[in-house]
Amino acid sequence: MPAQGQVAQSSALFLRIEPDSRAAGMGNTGVAVADNANTMFWNPSGLAFQQDTQVGVTHANWLPEFNANLFYEYLVGSYHVDGVGTFGGNVQYLNLGETEVRNNEAVVLDVVSSYQLAASTSYGVKVTERLGLGTSLRFIHSKLAAPPGGDGENGKASTFATDISALYRSAPFTLGGADATFSAGLNIANLGGTLDFDKNSRDKDPIPANLRFGPALTIDFDEFNSLTVTTDFNKSLVSVDRKTIIENGDTTQVQVGNSGFEALFDSWGTARGQVGPDNESTSLSLAQQFTVGTGLEYWYSDLFALRSGYYYEHPDNGDRQFLTFGAGLRYNIVGVDISYLYTAENESPLANTLRFSLLFEFQ
């Protein structure tokens, strides 16, 4: 049975927003870099290799081309416990602005503020000197504008999710006369339940479970100059099946969104892509369902960084294609990062997206 496992068929898509400017400047890559508190989004097992206390915050005006005053906030922190591992927590918040609720006569009945929120706790621990494992537990709450008089539908829904991850880091080795390290990461994110916005409906909205994996290579040319090359591969693990329900002799076809655990097994194979003007959807091969991000990061003396990257998504699977640029500064305990997203099409809602991040590190 073909799976229909694309991102657009899930809810709470804010969970896919990349929260930190550093990784966003490298083409949205981070699963194998994973070396600060923001690793909780990319790969919680990266906490296993961290021993400093860190606190960070990110702000972004979201979808600026819409001029809708949407914004995204992210707060993160981590703390190491000797002999136990490293713990972390974060909060994601997406403000969706205000919506006017009108009746059939276009009379304004109410003005509703909408938002989406997720709070997570994470843990990472080394199982060997080179391998770390990690996990996260996440509470997700969505408050959207409900239709007037909607019986059983108030626009609110909540659920829980978890992440399962691993990270390998090699010992330093020589590459072309320079010191180098290789790492590889894997994260299966947002495995969990569904969001139930309408208590009287059998329809459930799955959250955007995601498979992310990839490598990173860091080359230290000398004591001042280093370069990291990294790539992330992503696949949505959300699927939607149609199930037959029989009640009182009547047969009904109901669309039921699968949770991330079920989608681990039924989101593979041919999938449904973009829906065209004739209301017919395209068919995506397994390879076309993957998105790819690749990036570069250059550091001078661990004080100043320049970054760039490219992100690709198949045209029938969302068609997000853009370049990213970024820079970073580190001084004493303070780190500042900025990223910019450039699209060839000015009409893209992601065009000109800026992210600003602060990270404080206490040894």
Burial class (CB in 10 A: 0-12, 13-18, 19+), 77: middle
Locus of tokens 């809602």: 349
267 confidence band (pLDDT: 50, 70, 90): confident
Radius of gyration of the chain (CA): 22
Concatenate the DSSP letters of all residues of 78-103 into one string: EEEETTTEEEEEEEEEEEEEEEEEE-
Q: Do the Cβ atoms of 160 and 139 come closer than 8 Å?
A: yes
- pLDDT of 43 reads 97
**CB within 8 Å of 22: residues ≥ 6 apart:** 30, 36, 38, 297, 305, 307, 326, 328, 337, 339, 357
- pLDDT of 168 reads 98
**CB within 8 Å of 110: residues ≥ 6 apart:** 100, 101, 148
What is the DSSP code (8-state) at residue 9?
G
Mean pLDDT confidence for 204-224: 92
303 confidence band (pLDDT: 50, 70, 90): very high
**CB within 8 Å of 149: residues ≥ 6 apart:** 103
CA dist 303 and 52 (Å) reads 18
Number of helices and strands in the chain (H, E): 3, 21
Locus of tokens 């691993």: 166
Mean pLDDT confidence for 136-158: 77
Q: pTM above the 0.75 mark? A: yes
pLDDT surpasses 90 at 319: no
pLDDT tens-digit map of 110-142: 777 789 999 999 999 999 999 999 999 999 999
Q: Do the Cβ atoms of 324 and 339 come closer than 8 Å?
A: yes
308 confidence band (pLDDT: 50, 70, 90): very high
Element housing 40 (H / E): helix 39-42
The angle subtended at Cα 230 by Cα 74 and Cα 173, nearest 5°, is 125
Higher per-residue confidence, 195 vs 221: 221
Domains of the chain: 7-362 (2.40.160.40)
pLDDT surpasses 50 at 1: no
The angle subtended at Cα 84 by Cα 79 and Cα 88, nearest 5°, is 30
pLDDT tens-digit map of 268-301: 877 766 655 555 667 788 899 999 999 999 999 9
CA dist 293 and 35 (Å) reads 18
- pLDDT of 200 reads 64
- pLDDT of 4 reads 39
